[in-house]
Amino acid sequence: MTQDLKGKTGIILGVANKRSIAWACASSLAREGMRLCFTYMGERMEEKVRALASECEGSIVLECDVTKPEQIDAVFDEIKEEFGFLDTVVHAVAFARREELTGNFFDTSKEGYMIAHEVSVYSLTAISRRALPLMEGREGSIITLSYIGGERVIPNYNVMGIAKAALEASVRYLANDLGPKGIRVNAISAGPIRTLSASGVSGFNTMLDEIATKAPLRRNVTQEEVGDTCLFLAGKGSRGITGTTIFVDAGYHIMGV
Ligand code: 0WE
């Protein structure tokens, strides 16, 4: 099966730099001819994202703080103007305050809990709702990024684990809502990858070593492998798949020890 995405369009939220999983997703989609809208969060990120987007022919770049409904509205208004329609959404956005990602989960503050869920979970639903009018009748695909910490306890992942569990549940409810409109919704549960998000996470090297020792493939996964799974989920090859979480983790999740 070929993966030609010429004439298709997509939006990618969550590119910060070349190491971003979102960038790998964008690269895979652009390689097959998809036209992309990149969003960035805050002026500080604009130049970085513009420089990367310039490597993808026909792409556009817009600001989007996913906690601001008016910015989400503006992004989809602009996509309607520029592209006219939308086939793919890649949601690769997550944030928790650093202090929530260490120590005991029971110390999570209400504010910290709310921020993590607003940015990392509710944003998928807010964006899907705005994307829907542009995706109707096009058999589109919505893809988000999860982590095994949403299903099992990973030390220090804490409130993000609760957020990823809610994100994966959101994928199921959105898949049920949007399925009758031909739109599929899935998550990729990626193994740990050295990205900006992972920088400064204590014990990250130990986690990577543990996976290289224990995962069936005896190695860690790369951004490119996640990107190519995103390509699969965006394309026709996955037309029978919705509401699920696909692990791209070298098989680590099957292990009991
Ligand atoms: O989902 C993630 C990253 C989540 C994340 C990371 C940070 C660090 C910097 C969300 N918000 C922030 N906020 C910050 O200020 N991953 C799957 C990567 C990750 O993050 C961890 C991990 C792994 C793996 C945090 C603790 C333990 C393991």
For the stretch 65-86, pLDDT in tens is: 999 999 999 999 999 999 999 9
Q: Work out the average pLDDT over 110-122.
A: 98
Range of lowest pLDDT (176-185, 198-207, 243-252): 198-207
Q: How far apart are CA 221 and CA 237, in angstroms?
A: 22
Distance 199 CA to ligand 1 centre (A): 8
Residue count of the chain, please give it.
257
CB 88 within 8 A of CB 145: no
The reply to whether 157 belongs to the active site is yes
pLDDT the model gives residue 13: 98
Atom 22 in ligand 1: residue holding the nearest Cα: 157
Q: For residue 99, give Cα distances in angstroms to 102, 161, 197, 202.
A: 6, 15, 14, 12
For residue 3, the model assigns a pLDDT of 74
Q: What is the mean pLDDT of residues 151-159?
A: 98
* pLDDT for the residue 1: 66
Query: What mean pLDDT, rounded, does the chain reach?
Result: 97
- The number of beta carbons lying within 10 Å of the beta carbon of residue 221 is 21
Q: Which domains does the chain have, with CATH numbers?
A: 9-252 (3.40.50.720)
Candidates 117, 192, 112; CA nearest to 162 is 117
What percent of the chain is modeled with pLDDT above 70?
A: 99
Among 157, 128, 155, 150, CA closest to 140: 128
Pocket of ligand 1 (CB under 6 A): 94-96, 98, 101, 147, 154, 156-157, 160, 192, 197-198, 201
- For position 237, what pLDDT does the model report? 97
Span 188-202, mean pLDDT?
95
**How far is the centre of ligand 1, averaged over its atoms, from the C-alpha of 62 (Å)?**
25
- Residue nearest atom 16 in ligand 1 by C-alpha distance: 198
Per-residue pLDDT of 40-61, as tens digits, reads: 999 999 999 999 999 999 999 9
In this predicted structure, the answer to whether residue 2 has a pLDDT above a threshold of 70 is no
Question: Which amino acid, one-letter code, is at 192?
Answer: P
Read off the pTM.
0.98
In this prediction, residue 84 carries a pLDDT of: 98
CA of 43 to the centre of ligand 1 (A): 22
Query: Which residues are CB-contacts of 201 (< 8 A; sequence separation ≥ 6)?
Result: 101, 156
45's CB contacts (< 8 A; 6+ apart) are 16
* 147 assigned to active site: yes
